């Protein structure tokens, strides 16, 4: 199965922006792409945005099988709501959905160490889905530490990482400049840099257009 798991250095750094842009980019290329946000907590807006970006026929419930009302780590939210997150069952739902499509774009929840059950986290889910990971990071101050820790965790779990996307990138900002330089020096593949401009995050078309010509676009064209 061709696919990609979009994860991140934490919450609020733009997984949905990147996943939606990738889905729209591939859709415009004529690819039969499926999308999935297996787990969401606090709202289904991201899953619905991903659904619209991918222009898929599946229902919101198929795309987002586990929805938790409380905006917390899924394990904590599930305990409060007296629910249990069944990762084997969730994996089966992913496999069933993936059979309908030539490739899948999956968006995670929070960062890779966010707990989903007592003993498993987002990294465990990526392993179960058997997909390579794309790490979304904020380009702002602090990104070096968060990104290195995320990559280290994924390496420990033996999860293949295709590279990183720097979101909210301002070429005039010194922290953005120095972060990009650092990643290049460390030979960490920066596959795309996305801007922080008004209305950008709300438009899958604009995100997809920005992805064109990036290293990420070349990877997608080769692997989907």
Cα separation, 191 vs 95, whole angstroms:
27
φ, ψ (nearest 5 deg) of residue 90: -65, -40
Cα separation, 212 vs 118, whole angstroms:
40
31 included as an active-site residue: no
Count of CB atoms situated within 10 Å of the CB of 224: 19
Q: How many Å from the N-terminal Cα to the C-terminal Cα in the chain?
A: 9
Cα separation, 170 vs 109, whole angstroms:
25
Residue 10 and residue 137 in contact, taking contact as beta carbons nearer than 8 Å: no
Of 29, 37, 158, 222, the active-site residue reads 37
Specify the length of the chain in residues. Answer: 224
**Torsion angle, alpha carbons of 209, 215, 201, 53, to 10:** 70
Residue 159 and residue 126 in contact, taking contact as beta carbons nearer than 8 Å: yes
Q: Which residues does the annotation mark as catalytic?
A: 37
């Amino acid at each position: 199965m061709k696919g990609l798991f979009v994860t991140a250095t934490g919450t609020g750094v733009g997984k949905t922006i990147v996943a939606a842009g990738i889905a729209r980019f591939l859709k415009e290329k004529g690819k039969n792409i499926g999308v999935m946000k297996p787990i969401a907590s606090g709202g289904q807006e991201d899953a619905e945005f991903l659904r619209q970006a991918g222009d898929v026929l599946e229902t919101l419930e198929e795309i987002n099988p586990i929805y938790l009302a409380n905006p917390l780590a899924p394990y904590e939210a599930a305990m409060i709501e007296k629910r249990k997150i069944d990762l084997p069952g969730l994996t089966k739902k992913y496999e069933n959905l993936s059979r309908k499509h030539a490739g899948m774009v999956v968006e995670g929840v929070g960062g890779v160490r966010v707990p989903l059950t007592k003993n498993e986290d987002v990294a465990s889910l990526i392993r179960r889905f058997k997909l390579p990971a794309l790490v979304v990071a904020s380009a702002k101050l602090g990104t070096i530490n968060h990104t290195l820790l995320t990559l280290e965790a994924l390496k420990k779990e033996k999860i293949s990482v295709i590279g990183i996307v720097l979101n909210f990138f301002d070429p005039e900002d010194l922290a953005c400049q120095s972060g990009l330089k650092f990643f290049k020096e460390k030979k960490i593949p920066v596959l795309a840099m996305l801007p922080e401009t008004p209305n950008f995050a709300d438009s899958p078309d604009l995100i997809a257009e920005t992805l064109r010509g990036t290293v990420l676009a070349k990877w997608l064209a080769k692997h989907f």
